[in-house]
Copies of this chain bind each other. A is one copy, B any other.
């Protein structure tokens, strides 16, 4: 194929500008949806089903054994088992379970990407595993930042930059957003937490009392599972798919 493209779409509001039909789309929602999905799948969740609305999530209440997770504006929606705190996706809570999940930004981004050749989840937790896999694939890569209500946010952009930094040497053509993201990541990588403290978004999250979540979401390479969308279910990528 032609030289692989490595693009960063800094918010889902720009996704219509990209042809993703031949691309692997990496959905990124560092605080906290894709971090929690990576952690949950690593911890043995059978599947995580991303749904667009709280109502659809609610409609699964009768499905036996399903856990229902709903977050809006950073908080667990009343009446649901949990939201998108990674601490809710530990082994004791999710092993063997199927979780139905809706979030403000992350699950929205997943649904916007359905035309992609393949959709996987990225977070600092699975950075190296994801990068190692991507570079073995003979495919264009689009890193899709979920952002905050369609505006860019720094944490998702930094992670996109981390992926660029890890795979660009394997022969990709970068767009301007990839170049910018990588340069920001290089600036921030020795102190991600410190760098992100200066953002307004960080203040907003602090008000929600989720500083522990935020610190957890910046752990690099805690996991190796790559959640991949199969039909409507996010599942662990199987060993044979991990090979070239």
Contact = CB atoms under 8 A, between A and B. Distances in A.
Contacts of A177: 151-152
B176 A187 contact: no
B200 A173 contact: yes
A198 B180 CA distance: 11
Interface range on chain A (Cβ under 8 Å from partner) = 20 to 34
A220 to B, nearest CB: 20
Contacts of A199: 176, 179
A149 B14 CA distance: 11
Given A10-B10, A14-B13, A17-B13, A183 B187 contact: yes
A109 to B, nearest CB: 15
12 contacts: A10-B10, A10-B152, A11-B14, A13-B17, A14-B14, A153-B176, A154-B176, A174-B200, A180-B180, A180-B184, A183-B184, A187-B187
